[in-house]
Amino acid sequence: MRLSPPRVNWVFLLLQIIGLVFSKSFEAFSFNRFELEHYKNETKELFDFAFDNYLKLGFPYDELYPIKCGPKTRNFTSPSEIANDVLGNFSATLIDSLTTLAVMGDSIRFENAVNLIKNYVPRDFDIDSTIQIFETTIRIVGGLLSGHLYATDPAKKVFLGSRYDGHLLESAKALADRLLPAYLTQTGLPIPRINLKHEFNNLSPELVDENNPVAMACPMVEFTLLSYLTYDDKYRHVTRYAFNKTWAQRSDLNLLPMSFNPQNSLPYNQLTGIGASIDSFYEYALKGAILFDDEHLMQVWEDAYLALKVNAKGDWFFSNIDSEYGQTATPWIDSLSAFFPGLQVLGGDVDDAKFKHVMFLKLWNTYGGIPERWNFQIAEKEGTNEAQLKDLDESAKSTIALEWYPLRPEFIESTYFLYRATKDPFYLHIGWNILQNFKKQFRTECGFAGLQDVITGEPQDRMETFVLSETLKYLYLLFDENNELHFDRGNVLFSTEAHPFWLTVEMKRNYERHRFFNDRLYKRHLKNVEQRELSAQRGSPLFHMFRGLSNSIFPKDLSVETRARSTTAYQPDIVNRVCPNLENLQCSKNTMSSPMLTSFDRLFEVNWRYAATLIQPSRLLGSTPMELTQPFYDRWYDPAQSKCRVKPTTLSFEMAFDASLPGGQTKNSNVTANSLNVNTLAGYRLRIEVLTPGATDIYGMVLDTRYFTNISLKNVHSPRSCLQFGNRSPASVYRITAIDGTPLPNGFKVKLNKEPLFSSSSDVSSLGYNSQNILLLDCVPVVNARLAA
């Protein structure tokens, strides 16, 4: 198919010319309005280049090969192949890119795209394609709904008025009607795939027997929005039941296993985390709560996030853990979890979002992209020696579990949200670096190609729809200070595919007045699954008195002790540049500085903590980390304040106390600036630091002997004999440095009640206290934990 060339957008062309004139009006890395406008226009040009090539070389098929320069189609000879999941033969790139055109305010291209969808995409989606429910929902249904919102909102730049007949909403409804039968299971949980034309015909068991929390729960947001726009409540009822049923499968720790059989709700995989298969569940609990003003969804988010913090949170990332016991279960994290700092910003936890974002910054610095899976710990092989590690790329390869980077958006998404929350130029500079990657490394003859292998740099001849729908959209918004979304006072939220969704007061009022649910099939279905649910026998809860060390399989990232190893990942000059000698400190500069460069004294901690597994491949040797680009660094750091924390020489470990301990039903706390008052240790996870004289602690302080001489081991009260310590001062002591994954500042005190921790019914043999009411753990004093009567 050949299409006529797109109409020239003279307004945008004029803006480009103006941008060229004013491009000389800024000094690089000043990030004034002229510079940001320049980068915004460069991003727009990159998008237009790839989108126009898709229309010319790939449309009406789903994707464009960026290197072969031809259409990427589904496998028509094997319709049920899993590779077809996102290739439904419905012009996926066109529909998924629609809202990027809207966000960029390109009214001409937006209207052209809306008309192309009307003229070339079957409005009833009567297509013989077996596709994945979740991906089709977020990319196609979500794209159509968001496009409809833009086309019908007079406040938006791309408002179409009478030139639009509502066909995007009609198409979204037609497609949703073809996806909804996937929910007609015994449990009400959807199967993962369906054929748009023939529903369940020719679906083999391996295509439908296993599903994950994201795919079962998350279509709820797009389908509920569809109910608000059409007034037909069946979409909301059916998918909301599935969301609630998915959440009901959580463990006693409020953690969801990563996969289930949708026919019987039995879990396949007890693994859980924040990455693939589970990520968007948290996202849509919070975003659904905000978009639909839903208190229950907000409670789900709060409970789920708390469970993650208690069981999976480390300083730099959330581990993949066992959903029943909370123990770390894999030595890797995946690239999809890079979205989570952005979600933390939306949830109000900006401080921790900064930490989690730094981890992915270091991954990008190391590999020139974020590998699908990165090993934060690798098993030591017998006979490992320097000779075996001589080949740098072989060493780097051992740190990667899955080696490709398909230009995923999650890292730039979190960068965008952190910049909007902090306005720190640190995040603008990250965006600038990624922009350079798109211009120089990822750009091909016809589009953008990611990395098939981050070690070798081999390109990947695929441009998934999210490259145009999400990655370049967030990059554009990062530089577009004046985007209409940034001034919208409504509850505009980005879907997990970066489609903007919103509901006005009038839309909500009309929905409440006119909504209906008269589909007998789905009414009967919901009644049946609810009756089966009521009659099902609930399993008895499992209680574990004391879980002990929670790093029995793999240590959490907090307690990883980095071993000396031959690697080029850690560059000593980093410390010298960010931690100047105290005697040579300069005066503060009379300019604004970046808080991340000035105040975040742990910015380079990841470099030494994970030196064993952050190994740069040879192709990137000599490259400068983003945060140390010379002109940016010199402009935005403050030489009087910018420093990094000294590497500690102490060891740390973690302990978790189960809620079934005495007082576990009353896990209440009172937090002040310098202390935490708790009734019990039940249900808490503690990070313990082992302190010895002369050691450097995690706060960068050298511990002198006075720290230990004032602690008594006389009159010890403990079920365990502590006589071996005599009355002398202890050789080492413990200190609590984090509770439930939250780091404690230096000097922080933990105050505990003796009751019920040491009640007559309590039998926790590892705990005790001395005459100073200092808590003892295995007869070792915990210096910042005191008991009160």
Known catalytic residues are 135, 279, 372, 410
For residues 104 and 669, what is the distance between their CA atoms, to the nearest angstrom?
47
For residues 45 and 20, what is the distance between their CA atoms, to the nearest angstrom?
13
Instruction: Confirm or deny that 504 is annotated as ligand binding.
Output: no
533-547 exposure pattern, b = at least 16 Cβ within 10 A, e = fewer: eeeeeeeeeeeeebe
CA distances from 555 to 312, 658, 732, 739 (A): 11, 19, 22, 16
Q: Are 308 and 320 contacting, i.e. CB atoms less than 8 angstroms apart? A: no
DSSP-assigned states of every residue in 553-571 = SS--GGG--PPP---SS--
For residues 116 and 172, what is the distance between their CA atoms, to the nearest angstrom?
15
For residues 758 and 715, what is the distance between their CA atoms, to the nearest angstrom?
16
- Is the bond into 693 cis (omega within 30 degrees of 0)? no
For residues 438 and 412, what is the distance between their CA atoms, to the nearest angstrom?
12
Element (H, E) at 13: helix 10-22
> What's the one-letter identity of residue 583?
E
CA dihedral 521, 522, 528, 534 (to 10 degrees): -170
CA-closest candidate to residue 680, choices 589, 788, 518, 594: 788
Greatest pairwise CA separation for the chain in angstroms: 91
For residues 10 and 13, what is the distance between their CA atoms, to the nearest angstrom?
5
For residues 413 and 498, what is the distance between their CA atoms, to the nearest angstrom?
9
Residue 238 structure tokens: 């059916």
End-to-end CA distance of the chain: 82
Which strands sit side by side in the sheet containing 332-334, from one edge to the other?
332-334, 373-375, 400-402
CA dihedral 585, 590, 591, 593 (to 10 degrees): 30
Residue 647 CA, distance from chain mean position? 28
CA-closest candidate to residue 626, choices 475, 436, 451, 453: 436
Binding residues for Ca(2+): 496
